A and B are shown apart, each in its own frame.
Chain A
Amino acid sequence: MPEWALTGYNPRAGSNSLLAGGLVVAARCDVSSESSVAPPLTAENRRQQLEQILTASRRQDRIRQGRETTILAILFLAALVSIATTIGIIYTLSIETFHFFQRVSIIEFLTDTQWTPLFADKHFGIWPLLVGTLIVSTIAMLVSLPLGLLAAIGLSEYAPPRLARIVKPVLEILAGVPTVVYGYFALLFVTPLLQRFIPQLEVFNALSAGLVMGFMILPLVASLSEDAMRAVPMSLREGAYALGATRLEVVWRVVVPSSLSGIVAAFILAVSRAVGETMIVAIAMGQVPRLTFNPLVAMQAMTSYIVQVSLGDTPHGTLEYQTIFAVGATLFVITMTLNLLSYRFLKRFREVYE
């Protein structure tokens, strides 16, 4: 950040520069007037001429400063939109959740083991949805953490830099594929494939949704971990090599421990992504909220419940309408906690090396 940006606009600097310009102009006028008509060139005359130019430039200066302030205010307001968004999210979620908890007790929400707000016999226990989300995220992390970390190590420590520069963006295409495409892939490719090996696998299941989600998150883990490892100073590696360590030892005993908080930050962010992922679970995991730890059967995640209700026509103010905000608030609290935790780790990491 340049210093002038910190102090803001300094009007005196502006005036001074214009003053210099004014003097030059005045001098030029002087020359031309001398050569042509030659009016009486008294000291008084010159003073007046200069004053005229200078007051005019001061006025222009004020206009310029006013414009400057206005533009700065507009830019500031644009930056505030992000704060407004957060406030909007918190406000919307909390007000509807508040209405929800006026009709359903928070104890039922946290202790009941059934989630059936769309049936005649209504139960409002969040656990089936929470467990559904937990299982699918766990499977996704079991895929993406080891593979992502291995890929990151491969890219940053083993692969020749030129190859890594090509492979990394290609791998990142995986993260750019729309999630609805992954949903299609999980339901119509991975599930039939798995059913050949696991005959009792249902058409909708947490296993294939989780596996596919893992591959979706892999580039995120790989890319962020690789960035963290690249930030480890070369001197640390060279020191370890000088002590006679092999490449593997340098990776495991120097690079990974030194970049651990960066890697942890990447992992936490990946968990947060898995928890909030919607389309894969909405398409491939099913719409059956049940409290089970069996990944082979249909379940429902928090996000897919929100999609299920949104697809129907639920009028504003009904209990069904409020449930999606209550579920959304739970989701928001979980992901927000994870994000802040990840930010914490990342900050600590940056403090060490940057």
Chain B
Amino acid sequence: MTSNELYSGDREFRPRLTLRRQLGALFGILSTIAIVVGLTTLAVLITDVVRDGWHVISWDFLTSYPSRRPEQAGILSALVGTTYILVLVAVIAFPLGVAAALYLEEFAPKNRLTALIEINISNLAAVPSIVYGLLGLGVFVRTFMLGRSLIAGALTLSLLVLPIIIVASREALRAIPPSIREAGLALGASPWQTVRHFVLPAAFPGILTGTILALARAIGETAPLITIGALTYVAFLPGSIFDPFTVLPIQIFNWVSRPQPAFHERAAGGIIVLLVVLLCFNAAAIFLRARLQRKIRF
């Protein structure tokens, strides 16, 4: 009887535990491979670029204008253009983004308009950058008559990175516990005074981190600036914000598109410079985040 029961139970339920565990292990190996493949790509990408472009990096490369002769071509105008764009985008997008985040996180009533703004922002974050380029071309270059100038490019890129700054700032503000706000209000401060003197300073490192990452995105962008008509060959420095300009990614694109291998090396050199700049930005963001985590504990 007992042996019979055991026998039938054995037929109905076979754990096959070894096989299932082996399958699990196999799957674990597969997922490790997926991660390793991703990391390897990154490593190969960086070594390829560095190997191709390492020897063109020199002081001359950084301080020469582009040229028809590849051995003399440099990235001075692109580097200066990128710096201008960076500063302008920071000046335009940072206050706008923080203000919008403050409104949505601290003051906005829960109504349909607020919901619409929120959906709209998450949607804008996923609009292709080239569409922003078309917006810039139609609105800033044509309608506002700004031409193919630094300011038109900076405004376009500002709109592009605005959703990133807003989302990051909102997250930073959300991390501040309500008790801080309640303390401010209990002291007799008005809502704005509470936000200005209590909430904003506490959230500031987080906001700054998000802004730095957004700016890093802005300096890597190529497509919208090509669409608004930034020049690919600029042998002068812009004197005012209404002058034509070029930026580092566009210069790289220009060199990659040429058939001569000597220009490809210049492109690789440009990429190294661009990646180093981005690395500095990301390092700054990581540093700020670490500092924030160490200093403020609620």
Check B271 against A92 for contact (C-beta < 8 Å).
Answer: no
Of the residues B48, B103, B216, contact of A189 by C-beta under 8 Å:
B48
Residues of B within 8 A of A167 (CB): 35, 39
Task: Provide the bound-state CA to CA distance between A150 and B34, in Å.
Answer: 6
Residues of A within 8 A of B45 (CB): 177, 181-182, 185, 189
- Given contacts A79-B99, A343-B119, A4 and B128 within 8 Å (CB-CB): no
Residues of A within 8 A of B57 (CB): none
Check B123 against A339 for contact (C-beta < 8 Å).
Answer: yes
Chosen A-B contacts, 8 in total, with CB atoms closer than 8 Å, are A9-B192, A80-B117, A171-B35, A176-B282, A181-B275, A251-B27, A306-B227, A339-B126
Of the residues A74, A218, A278, contact of B129 by C-beta under 8 Å:
A278
Q: Is B221 an interface residue (CB 8 A)?
A: yes
Task: Provide the bound-state CA to CA distance between A187 and B126, in Å.
Answer: 26
Task: Provide the bound-state CA to CA distance between A325 and B130, in Å.
Answer: 11
Q: Is B178 an interface residue (CB 8 A)?
A: yes
Check A269 against B267 for contact (C-beta < 8 Å).
Answer: no
Near B by CB (< 8 A), chain A positions 1-35 give 1-2, 4-6, 8-9, 13-14, 17-18, 21
Can you list the 6 inter-chain pairs with the closest CB atoms, starting with the nearest? A276-B128, A154-B31, A178-B220, A92-B138, A78-B99, A248-B24
Check A170 against B39 for contact (C-beta < 8 Å).
Answer: yes
Check B31 against A72 for contact (C-beta < 8 Å).
Answer: no
Check A272 against B126 for contact (C-beta < 8 Å).
Answer: yes
B residues lining the A interface (CB < 8 Å)? 15, 17, 20-21, 23-24, 27-28, 30-35, 37-39, 41-42, 44-45, 48-49, 52, 95-97, 99-100, 102-110, 116-117, 119-124, 126-135, 137-139, 142, 159, 162-163, 166, 178, 181-182, 185, 188, 190-192, 216-217, 219-223, 226-229, 232, 249, 252-253, 256-257, 264, 267-268, 271, 274-275, 278, 282
- Measured CB to CB, the nearest residue on chain A to B286 is A169
A residues lining the B interface (CB < 8 Å)? 1-2, 4-6, 8-9, 13-14, 17-18, 21, 64-65, 67-68, 71-72, 74-76, 78-83, 85-86, 88-89, 91-93, 95-96, 146-148, 150-151, 153-155, 158-159, 167, 170-171, 173-174, 176-185, 187-189, 215, 218-219, 222, 244, 246-249, 251, 269, 272-273, 275-279, 282-283, 303, 306-307, 310-311, 316, 324-325, 328, 331-332, 335-336, 339-340, 342-343
Check A85 against B162 for contact (C-beta < 8 Å).
Answer: yes
Of the residues A65, A93, A170, A246, contact of B134 by C-beta under 8 Å:
A93
Residues of B within 8 A of A174 (CB): 38, 41-42
**Most B CB within 10 A of own CB, among A95, A278, A283:** A278
- Given contacts A167-B39, A184-B49, A147 and B34 within 8 Å (CB-CB): yes
- Measured CB to CB, the nearest residue on chain B to A269 is B126
- Given contacts A79-B100, A189-B48, A283-B256, A67 and B38 within 8 Å (CB-CB): no
Of the residues B33, B103, B135, contact of A92 by C-beta under 8 Å:
B135
Q: How far is the CB of B156 from chain A (nearest CB, A)?
A: 10
Q: How far is the CB of A232 from chain B (nearest CB, A)?
A: 17
Check A154 against B223 for contact (C-beta < 8 Å).
Answer: no
Task: Provide the bound-state CA to CA distance between A22 and B99, in Å.
Answer: 34
- Given contacts A170-B42, A219-B38, A67 and B110 within 8 Å (CB-CB): no
Residues of B within 8 A of A311 (CB): 226, 232
Apart from the given pairs A85-B162, A95-B138, A176-B282, 17 other A-B contacts in the complex at a CB distance below 8 Å: A1-B110, A5-B181, A6-B110, A67-B192, A78-B103, A79-B100, A81-B162, A93-B135, A158-B31, A180-B220, A184-B268, A185-B45, A247-B24, A306-B130, A306-B134, A310-B137, A316-B142
- Given contacts A78-B96, A86-B120, A246-B20, A215 and B128 within 8 Å (CB-CB): no
Check B49 against A181 for contact (C-beta < 8 Å).
Answer: yes
Residues of B within 8 A of A2 (CB): 178, 181-182
- Measured CB to CB, the nearest residue on chain B to A1 is B110
Residues of B within 8 A of A158 (CB): 28, 31-32
Q: How far is the CB of A277 from chain B (nearest CB, A)?
A: 7
Of the residues B23, B131, B191, contact of A248 by C-beta under 8 Å:
B23
Check B31 against A153 for contact (C-beta < 8 Å).
Answer: yes
Q: How far is the CB of A339 from chain B (nearest CB, A)?
A: 4
Task: Provide the bound-state CA to CA distance between A343 and B126, in Å.
Answer: 11
Check A176 against B123 for contact (C-beta < 8 Å).
Answer: no
Q: How far is the CB of A217 from chain B (nearest CB, A)?
A: 11
Check A85 against B135 for contact (C-beta < 8 Å).
Answer: yes
- Measured CB to CB, the nearest residue on chain B to A86 is B120
Of the residues A183, A310, A336, contact of B127 by C-beta under 8 Å:
A336
Residues of B within 8 A of A67 (CB): 192
Residues of B within 8 A of A85 (CB): 124, 135, 159, 162
Check A9 against B190 for contact (C-beta < 8 Å).
Answer: yes
Task: Provide the bound-state CA to CA distance between A342 and B127, in Å.
Answer: 13
Residues of B within 8 A of A153 (CB): 27, 31
